[in-house]
Amino acid sequence: MKAINLISIAFGAIAGTYARYLLNLSLLYTGYPIGTVIENLLGSFILGLLTGFFVWKKPKEWIKLGLGVGVCGGFTTYSTFAGDVISLTQHHLFWGAIYVIVSLVGGILLALAGYLCGEAAGGNLVKVHEVK
Protein backbone atom coordinates (compact mmCIF):
# COMPACT_ATOMS: atom_id res chain seq x y z
CA MET A 1 0.00 0.00 0.00
CA LYS A 2 1.25 3.47 -0.79
CA ALA A 3 2.47 5.64 2.08
CA ILE A 4 0.05 8.44 1.15
CA ASN A 5 -2.88 6.04 1.59
CA LEU A 6 -1.72 5.00 5.07
CA ILE A 7 -1.09 8.60 6.10
CA SER A 8 -4.53 9.62 4.84
CA ILE A 9 -6.22 6.77 6.71
CA ALA A 10 -4.28 7.62 9.89
CA PHE A 11 -5.17 11.33 9.82
CA GLY A 12 -8.78 10.53 8.92
CA ALA A 13 -8.98 8.07 11.82
CA ILE A 14 -7.59 10.69 14.19
CA ALA A 15 -10.23 13.20 13.07
CA GLY A 16 -13.07 10.65 13.22
CA THR A 17 -12.05 9.32 16.62
CA TYR A 18 -11.69 12.81 18.06
CA ALA A 19 -15.14 13.77 16.76
CA ARG A 20 -16.59 10.60 18.32
CA TYR A 21 -14.91 11.40 21.63
CA LEU A 22 -16.28 14.96 21.68
CA LEU A 23 -19.78 13.77 20.80
CA ASN A 24 -19.72 11.16 23.57
CA LEU A 25 -18.44 13.67 26.11
CA SER A 26 -21.25 16.06 25.27
CA LEU A 27 -23.90 13.36 25.77
CA LEU A 28 -22.64 11.52 28.84
CA TYR A 29 -25.23 13.28 31.01
CA THR A 30 -28.06 11.31 29.36
CA GLY A 31 -27.10 8.04 31.04
CA TYR A 32 -28.04 6.24 27.82
CA PRO A 33 -25.54 5.42 25.06
CA ILE A 34 -27.17 7.94 22.71
CA GLY A 35 -23.74 9.10 21.56
CA THR A 36 -22.97 5.68 20.11
CA VAL A 37 -26.34 5.58 18.35
CA ILE A 38 -25.78 9.02 16.81
CA GLU A 39 -22.20 8.18 15.81
CA ASN A 40 -23.16 4.97 14.08
CA LEU A 41 -26.24 6.40 12.37
CA LEU A 42 -24.45 9.54 11.21
CA GLY A 43 -21.41 7.52 10.17
CA SER A 44 -23.64 5.19 8.12
CA PHE A 45 -25.20 8.18 6.38
CA ILE A 46 -21.84 9.80 5.66
CA LEU A 47 -20.29 6.60 4.32
CA GLY A 48 -23.37 6.04 2.13
CA LEU A 49 -23.14 9.64 0.93
CA LEU A 50 -19.48 9.25 0.04
CA THR A 51 -20.07 5.92 -1.68
CA GLY A 52 -22.93 7.32 -3.78
CA PHE A 53 -20.96 10.44 -4.66
CA PHE A 54 -17.89 8.44 -5.62
CA VAL A 55 -19.97 6.50 -8.16
CA TRP A 56 -19.94 9.68 -10.25
CA LYS A 57 -16.90 11.56 -9.05
CA LYS A 58 -13.79 9.40 -8.88
CA PRO A 59 -11.44 10.84 -6.25
CA LYS A 60 -7.82 9.96 -5.76
CA GLU A 61 -7.48 6.72 -3.82
CA TRP A 62 -5.94 8.42 -0.77
CA ILE A 63 -8.92 10.79 -0.47
CA LYS A 64 -11.41 7.95 -0.69
CA LEU A 65 -9.52 5.88 1.89
CA GLY A 66 -8.94 8.82 4.22
CA LEU A 67 -12.61 9.77 4.29
CA GLY A 68 -14.17 6.30 4.19
CA VAL A 69 -11.80 4.04 6.10
CA GLY A 70 -10.19 6.79 8.18
CA VAL A 71 -12.86 9.31 9.16
CA CYS A 72 -15.92 7.05 9.03
CA GLY A 73 -14.03 4.11 10.50
CA GLY A 74 -12.72 6.24 13.35
CA PHE A 75 -16.08 7.91 13.96
CA THR A 76 -18.24 4.78 14.09
CA THR A 77 -17.83 1.99 16.61
CA TYR A 78 -19.07 -1.57 16.49
CA SER A 79 -17.28 -2.64 19.66
CA THR A 80 -18.95 0.03 21.80
CA PHE A 81 -22.29 -0.85 20.21
CA ALA A 82 -21.78 -4.51 21.18
CA GLY A 83 -20.78 -3.60 24.74
CA ASP A 84 -23.76 -1.26 25.07
CA VAL A 85 -26.14 -4.00 23.91
CA ILE A 86 -24.84 -6.38 26.57
CA SER A 87 -25.03 -3.74 29.29
CA LEU A 88 -28.52 -2.57 28.32
CA THR A 89 -30.04 -6.02 27.96
CA GLN A 90 -28.73 -7.07 31.38
CA HIS A 91 -30.69 -4.22 32.98
CA HIS A 92 -33.58 -3.57 30.59
CA LEU A 93 -34.25 -6.09 27.84
CA PHE A 94 -36.78 -3.78 26.17
CA TRP A 95 -34.35 -0.83 25.90
CA GLY A 96 -31.59 -3.12 24.71
CA ALA A 97 -33.84 -4.42 21.94
CA ILE A 98 -34.85 -0.87 20.96
CA TYR A 99 -31.17 0.09 20.87
CA VAL A 100 -30.35 -2.81 18.52
CA ILE A 101 -33.31 -2.14 16.22
CA VAL A 102 -32.69 1.60 15.98
CA SER A 103 -28.97 1.08 15.40
CA LEU A 104 -29.21 -1.67 12.79
CA VAL A 105 -32.32 -0.68 10.87
CA GLY A 106 -31.55 3.02 11.19
CA GLY A 107 -27.96 2.48 10.06
CA ILE A 108 -29.01 0.57 6.96
CA LEU A 109 -31.73 3.09 6.07
CA LEU A 110 -29.43 6.06 6.61
CA ALA A 111 -26.66 4.42 4.58
CA LEU A 112 -29.18 4.00 1.75
CA ALA A 113 -30.42 7.58 2.12
CA GLY A 114 -26.84 8.84 2.12
CA TYR A 115 -26.02 6.77 -0.95
CA LEU A 116 -29.02 8.14 -2.84
CA CYS A 117 -28.16 11.72 -1.83
CA GLY A 118 -24.52 11.26 -2.80
CA GLU A 119 -25.41 9.66 -6.10
CA ALA A 120 -27.84 12.48 -6.89
CA ALA A 121 -25.28 15.14 -5.94
CA GLY A 122 -22.55 13.43 -7.96
CA GLY A 123 -24.83 12.95 -10.96
CA ASN A 124 -25.95 16.56 -10.84
CA LEU A 125 -22.35 17.70 -10.61
CA VAL A 126 -21.49 15.67 -13.71
CA LYS A 127 -24.50 17.13 -15.56
CA VAL A 128 -23.44 20.69 -14.69
CA HIS A 129 -19.98 20.02 -16.10
CA GLU A 130 -21.46 18.48 -19.26
CA VAL A 131 -23.59 21.58 -19.92
CA LYS A 132 -20.59 23.92 -19.83
Alpha-carbon span 65 to 50, nearest angstrom: 11
Residue 99's pLDDT is 96
Q: How many domains does the chain have?
A: 1
Binding site members for Na(+): 73, 76
Q: What is the pTM of this model?
A: 0.89
Binding site members: 73, 76
pLDDT digits (tens, 9 = 90+) for 27-85: 999 988 999 999 999 999 999 999 999 999 899 999 999 999 999 999 999 999 999 99
The residue segments making up the domain with residue 9 are 3-131
pLDDT digits (tens, 9 = 90+) for 84-95: 999 999 989 999
Alpha-carbon span 31 to 93, nearest angstrom: 16
